[in-house]
Amino acid sequence: MNIDINIINKIARQAGSEILKFYDEDRDIEVSRKSDDSPLTKADMASHRAIVSGLEKEYPEIPVLSEESEIPDYSVRKNWNRYFLIDPLDGTKEFIKKNGEFTVNIALIDENEPVLGVVYIPAEEVLYFADAKEGSFKQVGDGPVQKIEHARYSKDKPARIMVSRSHRGNDTKERLAGMGIEVGEEIPSGSSLKICFVAEGKADLYPRFGPTMEWDTAAADAVYRYSGKNGPVKSPLKYNKEDLHNPEFIIGL
């Protein structure tokens, strides 16, 4: 079955609308804690319900794995050839700070690789989306859909690197220097936007030497993979591993 990316875009926008119901309120955002001490809000769960409901209605035969759902055992997951991998609200810390840098992430994983990805920024009405056949695109509000591309980074020039606004690493420059990469500029941002900025050429690299999960990266990883000027580019990330943690990675090399 073919997946209509326009339907996935619509589901992401609907989830974003659910998030903004909590974001636009004047009172402080209520925060609880998950077992790993990461923050959880009512907006996370409202977005989760909107996405899962939308996907199950349109594509009932495709499993859905969400950050906010119970994770099926690997003995079950390893038999999934295709499934949706979602992060209903990526950048919960940025959502709580109300700085706008949080996203809705929906990816379709096929044989351990993302073949479709949608990243939506509700606070700015910015949509990134990609699929393996058509490439990567960006749309602001109801404006024109624009194709986005990036050129592969070459070590003969200083790199513009994305850094996390909430998870700064102190040794990033030193580790990159050990790889022959000079850092010329650091660009802070939250959530999966960091990968999208590399995809559209606003930055050269996104090095991440701290912990992330597969749902943190999958949708934006698709946007990156299919934004190469000369066709799809390789990514260091794989999906549906027994351990859902990502290894350390550099997007853009």
Return the domain boundaries, the chain.
5-147, 159-251
Confidence band for 106, pLDDT divided at 50, 70 and 90? very high
Alpha helices (H) in 115-181, listed in sequence order: 172-177
Q: Which of 202, 15, 8 is nearest to 102 (CA)?
A: 15
Torsion-angle region of residue 37: left (phi > 0), alpha (psi -120 to 50) or beta?
Answer: left
What's the CA gap between 48 and 94, in Å, rounded? 18
pLDDT of residue 26: 52
Task: Please spell the DSSP secondary structure of 16-33, one letter per residue.
Answer: HHHHHHHHT-SSPPP-EE
Nearest to 206 by CA among 163, 237, 148, 157: 163
Per-residue pLDDT of 189-244, as tens digits, reads 988 999 999 999 999 999 999 899 999 999 999 999 999 999 999 999 999 999 99
The C-alpha angle 147, 64, 45, rounded to 5 degrees, equals 90
Tell if the pTM clears 0.75, that is, is over it: yes
d(Cα 245, Cα 70) in Å, to the nearest integer?
16
What's the pLDDT score for residue 37?
A: 47
Rounded CA separation 25/21 (Å):
7
The string of pLDDT tens digits covering residues 120-162 is 999 999 999 999 999 999 999 999 999 999 999 999 999 999 9
What digits encode the pLDDT tens for the residues 12-71?
A: 999 999 999 988 765 556 666 655 545 567 888 999 999 999 999 999 999 999 999 999
In CATH, what is the architecture of 159-251? Answer: 3-Layer(aba) Sandwich (3.40)
User: What CATH class does 5-147 carry?
Assistant: alpha beta
Per-residue pLDDT tens digits for 80-102: 999 999 999 998 888 888 889 99
For residues 84-97, one letter each, b for 16 or more C-beta atoms within 10 angstroms of the residue's C-beta and e for the rest, the string is bbbbbbbbbbbbbe
Q: Give the pLDDT confidence score for residue 98 in this predicted structure.
A: 86
Please count the other Cβ atoms lying within 10 Å of the Cβ belonging to residue 200: 19
Q: Count the neighbouring beta carbons within 10 Å of the beta carbon of residue 240.
A: 20
